[in-house]
Amino acid sequence: MSRLLEGKSALVTGGGSGIGRATCLAMAREGARVTVADLPGPGAQETVDLILAAGGTAHAVAADVTDPAQVEAMVASAVAAYGRLDCAHNNAGIAAMHVGAGGQRMCDITQAAWDRMMAVNLTGVWLCMKHEIAAMERTGGGSIVNTSSIAGLIGLPGSNAYVAAKHGVIGLTKAAAIDYAPARIRINAVCPGYVETSMIREAMTRRGDSILSTVPMHRLGVPEEIAEAVVWMSSDRSGFMTGAAMPVDGGYTAT
Ligand SMILES: NC(=O)c1ccc[n+]([C@@H]2O[C@H](COP(=O)([O-])OP(=O)(O)OC[C@H]3O[C@@H](n4cnc5c(N)ncnc54)[C@H](O)[C@@H]3O)[C@@H](O)[C@H]2O)c1
């Protein structure tokens, strides 16, 4: 059977752990040559090593999605390595706890926490898309998948800045999908529910049972289950899909 992303050049931010790593591995398995981007540290290279060990093609790039020059260099690195950019998964993100705002209501969070959340989870996606789209336009099209969340579709308690940023990602996805449909660039969002990664560990320790009781499937997702959706949304098999926000959430938003 032919592979879904045979020969494509794919870029994944936050590729050094969790959902991003699983997507890098799944994309490589499906034949993509993968640029694995993440903050400086061992994560991205570890993902690359896993891909190379499985016979795939990948290289690592250190890039902070809040830094315009680093984002530009990240996209340039993908194009330099593989000649073009066909697929991008804008997935890097942080949780409320990372900005010291875990469980806080709107009036209790600091402006610094709000600004940091927006910088990484919303402006970071915009910045990546800005450079990715420019690269894709040069070669006649492509497919972008942004990681939103169930928090992009509904409100969640004690996560207001995260919820606002993830709703923003969906708005950005829809508006960009319309703007760039004529350029043959499809842009969609994946909306994971609760997934077993480092991001969710603290919340599970604090209120694991109450979280699971709200999920119809009564379990966490695993990163590979999000990755499979991203691979399909990145591939030509989803050719008529653009501007969509697809939940992969064990039924959470169906209730
Ligand atoms: N785990 C969940 O339950 C869940 C649910 C819905 C959405 N998400 C979203 O999925 C995405 C991936 O999260 P995850 O669960 O795999 O968590 P994770 O913490 O394992 O991965 C996040 C990755 O983003 C990277 N990152 C953070 N800030 C960055 C920056 N400024 N520049 C570049 N990279 C940066 C981190 O280094 C890390 O590798 C995030 O956007 C998150 O909001 C996660």
Domains of the chain by residue range: 9-244
pLDDT, position 85: 99
The DSSP element (H or E) to which 43 belongs, if any, is helix 43-53
Residue 76: both structure tokens together: 């340039």
Residue nearest to atom 17 of ligand 1 (CA): 199
What is the CB neighbour count within 10 angstroms for residue 209? Answer: 7
Q: What value does the CA radius of gyration of the chain take, rounded to a whole number of Å?
A: 17
Whether 162 is a known active-site residue: answer yes
Residue 94 alpha carbon to ligand 1 centre in Å? 5
Residue 182 alpha carbon to ligand 1 centre in Å? 31
Q: Which of 12, 13, 17 to mutate to test the pocket of ligand 1 (most atoms within 8 A of CB)?
A: 17
Question: Three-state SS for 42?
Answer: coil
Instruction: Give the Cα separation of 66 and 75 in Å (integer).
Output: 14
Between the CA of residue 211 and those of 103, 131, 147, 195, 201, what are the distances in Å? 14, 37, 21, 11, 12
- Write out pLDDT tens, residues 102-152: 899 999 999 999 999 999 999 999 999 999 999 999 999 999 999 999 999
Query: 144 near 172, Cβ under 8 Å?
Result: no
38 lines ligand 1 (CB under 6 A): yes
Q: 9-244 belongs to which CATH class?
A: alpha beta
Give me the catalytic one of 162, 180, 194, 252: 162
Instruction: Give the Cα separation of 242 and 231 in Å (integer).
Output: 14
- Write out pLDDT tens, residues 149-173: 999 999 999 999 999 999 999 999 9
Q: Across the chain, what does the average pLDDT equal?
A: 97
Cα 90 off chain centre by: 4
